[in-house]
Structure 1
Amino acid sequence: MLFAIYGTLQLILGVVYWIMIIHIIMSWLINFQVLNLHQPIVGQVWTGLNRLLEPIYQPIRRVMPDTHPLDLAPLVAFVALIAIRSFILPAAFGLV
Protein backbone atom coordinates (compact mmCIF):
# COMPACT_ATOMS: atom_id res chain seq x y z
CA MET A 1 0.00 0.00 0.00
CA LEU A 2 2.80 2.39 0.90
CA PHE A 3 4.64 1.74 -2.36
CA ALA A 4 1.44 2.40 -4.32
CA ILE A 5 1.10 5.85 -2.73
CA TYR A 6 4.79 6.54 -3.27
CA GLY A 7 4.58 5.44 -6.92
CA THR A 8 1.50 7.58 -7.53
CA LEU A 9 3.14 10.65 -6.00
CA GLN A 10 6.30 10.04 -8.04
CA LEU A 11 4.19 9.77 -11.20
CA ILE A 12 2.34 13.01 -10.46
CA LEU A 13 5.58 14.83 -9.69
CA GLY A 14 7.13 13.43 -12.86
CA VAL A 15 4.26 14.74 -14.98
CA VAL A 16 4.50 18.16 -13.31
CA TYR A 17 8.27 18.10 -13.94
CA TRP A 18 7.81 17.61 -17.69
CA ILE A 19 5.00 20.18 -17.88
CA MET A 20 7.32 22.70 -16.24
CA ILE A 21 10.16 21.81 -18.63
CA ILE A 22 7.85 22.34 -21.61
CA HIS A 23 6.60 25.64 -20.16
CA ILE A 24 10.12 26.94 -19.53
CA ILE A 25 11.37 26.01 -23.01
CA MET A 26 8.24 27.41 -24.63
CA SER A 27 8.67 30.71 -22.75
CA TRP A 28 12.22 30.99 -24.12
CA LEU A 29 11.01 30.27 -27.64
CA ILE A 30 8.27 32.88 -27.32
CA ASN A 31 10.66 35.50 -25.91
CA PHE A 32 13.17 34.91 -28.72
CA GLN A 33 10.28 35.11 -31.22
CA VAL A 34 10.72 31.57 -32.52
CA LEU A 35 7.10 30.84 -31.59
CA ASN A 36 4.28 33.27 -32.22
CA LEU A 37 1.37 33.46 -29.77
CA HIS A 38 -0.93 34.54 -32.60
CA GLN A 39 -0.78 31.03 -34.03
CA PRO A 40 -3.85 29.20 -32.68
CA ILE A 41 -2.16 26.02 -31.46
CA VAL A 42 0.75 27.86 -29.85
CA GLY A 43 -1.64 30.24 -28.10
CA GLN A 44 -3.83 27.42 -26.83
CA VAL A 45 -0.90 25.37 -25.54
CA TRP A 46 0.59 28.45 -23.86
CA THR A 47 -2.72 29.37 -22.22
CA GLY A 48 -3.24 25.80 -21.03
CA LEU A 49 0.25 25.56 -19.55
CA ASN A 50 -0.19 28.91 -17.80
CA ARG A 51 -3.51 27.79 -16.31
CA LEU A 52 -1.94 24.56 -15.06
CA LEU A 53 1.15 26.16 -13.54
CA GLU A 54 -0.16 29.49 -12.27
CA PRO A 55 -1.47 27.96 -8.99
CA ILE A 56 2.10 26.77 -8.34
CA TYR A 57 3.82 30.02 -9.35
CA GLN A 58 1.46 32.53 -7.70
CA PRO A 59 2.28 31.75 -4.02
CA ILE A 60 6.00 31.88 -4.86
CA ARG A 61 5.57 35.28 -6.54
CA ARG A 62 3.84 36.64 -3.41
CA VAL A 63 6.77 35.63 -1.20
CA MET A 64 9.66 36.57 -3.49
CA PRO A 65 10.78 40.16 -4.10
CA ASP A 66 9.68 41.70 -7.39
CA THR A 67 12.33 41.26 -10.09
CA HIS A 68 10.13 42.84 -12.73
CA PRO A 69 11.75 41.92 -16.04
CA LEU A 70 12.83 38.49 -14.79
CA ASP A 71 10.31 36.05 -13.31
CA LEU A 72 12.15 33.70 -10.95
CA ALA A 73 9.04 31.85 -9.74
CA PRO A 74 9.38 29.03 -12.34
CA LEU A 75 13.01 28.50 -11.33
CA VAL A 76 12.16 28.35 -7.62
CA ALA A 77 9.24 26.00 -8.29
CA PHE A 78 11.41 23.79 -10.49
CA VAL A 79 14.17 23.50 -7.87
CA ALA A 80 11.58 22.81 -5.17
CA LEU A 81 9.98 20.12 -7.33
CA ILE A 82 13.34 18.43 -7.88
CA ALA A 83 14.05 18.57 -4.13
CA ILE A 84 10.66 17.09 -3.28
CA ARG A 85 10.94 14.38 -5.92
CA SER A 86 14.53 13.38 -5.22
CA PHE A 87 15.07 13.95 -1.50
CA ILE A 88 11.97 14.73 0.55
CA LEU A 89 9.56 12.12 -0.85
CA PRO A 90 11.96 9.16 -0.54
CA ALA A 91 12.91 10.26 2.98
CA ALA A 92 9.26 10.58 3.96
CA PHE A 93 8.58 7.02 2.82
CA GLY A 94 11.76 5.64 4.40
CA LEU A 95 13.43 4.74 1.10
CA VAL A 96 16.70 6.54 1.74
Structure 2
Amino acid sequence: MQSLLILITQAIQLYIWVIIISAVLSWLIAFNVINTQNRFVYTVVDILYRLTEPALRPIRRILPDLGGIDISPVVLLLLLYFVQNLIWEIYGSYAASF
Protein backbone atom coordinates (compact mmCIF):
# COMPACT_ATOMS: atom_id res chain seq x y z
CA MET A 1 0.00 0.00 0.00
CA GLN A 2 2.85 2.35 0.81
CA SER A 3 4.36 1.83 -2.65
CA LEU A 4 1.12 2.99 -4.27
CA LEU A 5 1.06 6.10 -2.09
CA ILE A 6 4.65 6.88 -2.99
CA LEU A 7 3.78 6.53 -6.68
CA ILE A 8 0.79 8.86 -6.32
CA THR A 9 2.87 11.37 -4.38
CA GLN A 10 5.60 11.32 -7.03
CA ALA A 11 3.02 11.84 -9.78
CA ILE A 12 1.65 14.84 -7.88
CA GLN A 13 5.19 16.21 -7.46
CA LEU A 14 5.85 15.81 -11.18
CA TYR A 15 2.61 17.63 -12.03
CA ILE A 16 3.56 20.42 -9.62
CA TRP A 17 6.79 20.91 -11.57
CA VAL A 18 4.88 20.92 -14.85
CA ILE A 19 2.66 23.72 -13.50
CA ILE A 20 5.65 25.74 -12.29
CA ILE A 21 7.49 25.36 -15.61
CA SER A 22 4.35 26.29 -17.52
CA ALA A 23 3.88 29.46 -15.43
CA VAL A 24 7.51 30.51 -15.87
CA LEU A 25 7.36 29.89 -19.62
CA SER A 26 4.19 31.98 -19.88
CA TRP A 27 5.99 34.87 -18.15
CA LEU A 28 9.00 34.52 -20.47
CA ILE A 29 6.71 34.57 -23.49
CA ALA A 30 4.79 37.58 -22.15
CA PHE A 31 8.03 39.56 -21.75
CA ASN A 32 9.32 38.45 -25.19
CA VAL A 33 12.29 36.60 -23.75
CA ILE A 34 11.27 33.44 -25.60
CA ASN A 35 9.93 33.52 -29.13
CA THR A 36 7.08 31.13 -29.89
CA GLN A 37 7.93 31.26 -33.60
CA ASN A 38 10.60 28.68 -32.83
CA ARG A 39 9.05 25.28 -33.53
CA PHE A 40 10.64 23.56 -30.50
CA VAL A 41 9.49 26.29 -28.12
CA TYR A 42 5.99 26.17 -29.60
CA THR A 43 5.85 22.38 -29.14
CA VAL A 44 6.98 22.57 -25.51
CA VAL A 45 4.49 25.34 -24.73
CA ASP A 46 1.70 23.43 -26.46
CA ILE A 47 2.45 20.23 -24.50
CA LEU A 48 2.52 22.13 -21.21
CA TYR A 49 -0.72 23.89 -22.10
CA ARG A 50 -2.43 20.58 -22.87
CA LEU A 51 -1.20 19.11 -19.58
CA THR A 52 -2.19 22.02 -17.33
CA GLU A 53 -5.26 23.56 -18.94
CA PRO A 54 -7.77 20.81 -17.96
CA ALA A 55 -6.93 21.38 -14.29
CA LEU A 56 -6.66 25.18 -14.50
CA ARG A 57 -9.84 25.88 -16.50
CA PRO A 58 -12.34 25.03 -13.71
CA ILE A 59 -10.34 27.11 -11.24
CA ARG A 60 -10.33 30.08 -13.64
CA ARG A 61 -14.12 29.85 -13.94
CA ILE A 62 -14.52 30.07 -10.15
CA LEU A 63 -11.96 32.81 -9.43
CA PRO A 64 -12.95 36.45 -9.93
CA ASP A 65 -11.29 38.48 -12.69
CA LEU A 66 -8.22 40.18 -11.22
CA GLY A 67 -7.41 42.33 -14.23
CA GLY A 68 -4.83 40.31 -16.10
CA ILE A 69 -3.33 38.51 -13.12
CA ASP A 70 -3.85 34.77 -13.26
CA ILE A 71 -3.55 33.17 -9.83
CA SER A 72 -5.10 29.85 -10.87
CA PRO A 73 -1.68 28.08 -10.93
CA VAL A 74 -1.09 29.15 -7.33
CA VAL A 75 -4.52 27.87 -6.29
CA LEU A 76 -3.89 24.57 -8.09
CA LEU A 77 -0.48 24.20 -6.43
CA LEU A 78 -2.02 24.77 -3.01
CA LEU A 79 -4.72 22.18 -3.76
CA LEU A 80 -2.15 19.64 -4.91
CA TYR A 81 -0.02 20.15 -1.78
CA PHE A 82 -3.18 19.78 0.32
CA VAL A 83 -4.13 16.52 -1.42
CA GLN A 84 -0.59 15.21 -1.06
CA ASN A 85 -0.55 15.90 2.68
CA LEU A 86 -4.07 14.53 3.09
CA ILE A 87 -3.06 11.25 1.47
CA TRP A 88 -0.20 10.77 3.92
CA GLU A 89 -2.33 11.77 6.93
CA ILE A 90 -5.01 9.26 5.98
CA TYR A 91 -2.39 6.59 5.41
CA GLY A 92 -0.77 7.41 8.75
CA SER A 93 -4.03 7.06 10.63
CA TYR A 94 -4.85 3.89 8.68
CA ALA A 95 -1.44 2.34 9.40
CA ALA A 96 -1.63 3.30 13.08
CA SER A 97 -4.93 1.46 13.49
CA PHE A 98 -3.26 -1.88 12.70
The interval holding the TM-score normalised by the smaller chain is 0.7 to 0.9
Matches of 2:3 and 2:45, distance apart in 1: 33
SS in 2 for 1:76: helix
Residue 35 of structure 1 corresponds to 34
1:52 matched to 2:58? The reply is no
Q: Which amino acid aligns with 1:55?
A: P
> Which runs of no fewer than 5 residues in structure 1 stay unpaired?
none
Structure with larger Rg? 2
Matches within 5 A, 1:66-85: 66-85=65-84
SS in 1 for 2:64: coil
Report the count of equivalent residues: 94
Residue 92 of structure 1 corresponds to 90
Residue 20 of structure 1 corresponds to 19
Matches of 1:80 and 1:32, distance apart in 2: 28
> Which runs of no fewer than 5 residues in structure 2 stay unpaired?
94-98
Matches of 2:2 and 2:34, distance apart in 1: 41
CA RMSD after TM alignment:
1.7
SS in 2 for 1:45: helix
**How high is the sequence identity, in percent, across the aligned residues?**
30
Q: TM-score, normalised by structure 2?
A: 0.86
